[in-house]
């Protein structure tokens, strides 16, 4: 079985420089603010990410936890939702890189994880 790396989509409130810093480390990462979908609502964001096979990194727990539950109950597939608390940039980069080098796309698929698991 081929292990596919996680592709990541960063939500609008995540530090924009994280995308470039992770790309420099070889990861496939885009920031929503650098696309034509800037300002997109949360559910269409999950739909967009799912259509591109990208997991979402967000610190918007209030909206994404209920959406994840809804998607689970509706048996809708997504590439993963990663929740994070606000972190200093260096720590955010370190934990995101750790997640991306630890998990495969298959392991993250249809799950909700906390970035802080990857300290």
Range 7-118: architecture per CATH: 3-Layer(aba) Sandwich (3.40)
Q: What per-residue confidence (pLDDT) applies to 2?
A: 77
pLDDT at position 84, please? Answer: 97
Sign of CA dihedral 113, 39, 25, 84: negative
pLDDT tens per residue, range 62-118: 999 999 999 999 999 999 999 999 999 999 999 999 999 999 999 999 999 999 999
Q: What is the pLDDT of residue 3?
A: 84
- Extents of the domains making up the chain: 7-118
pTM of this structure = 0.95
Whether the per-residue pLDDT at 1 is higher than 70: the answer is: no
Each residue's pLDDT tens digit, 23-49: 999 999 999 999 999 999 999 999 999
Exposure class string for 73-102: b at 16+ Cβ within 10 A, else e:
eeeeebbbbbbbeebeeeebbebbbebbee
């Amino acid at each position: 079985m081929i292990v596919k790396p996680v592709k990541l989509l960063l939500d609008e409130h995540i530090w924009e420089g994280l995308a470039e810093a992770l790309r420099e480390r070889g990861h496939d990462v885009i920031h929503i603010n650098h696309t034509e979908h800037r300002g997109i609502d949360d559910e269409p964001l999950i739909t967009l990410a799912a259509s591109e096979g990208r997991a979402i990194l967000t610190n918007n727990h209030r909206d994404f936890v209920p959406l994840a539950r809804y998607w689970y109950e509706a048996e809708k597939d997504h590439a993963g939702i990663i929740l994070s608390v606000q972190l200093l940039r260096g720590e955010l980069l370190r934990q995101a890189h750790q997640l991306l080098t630890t998990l495969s796309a298959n392991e993250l698929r249809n799950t909700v994880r906390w970035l802080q698991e990857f300290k």
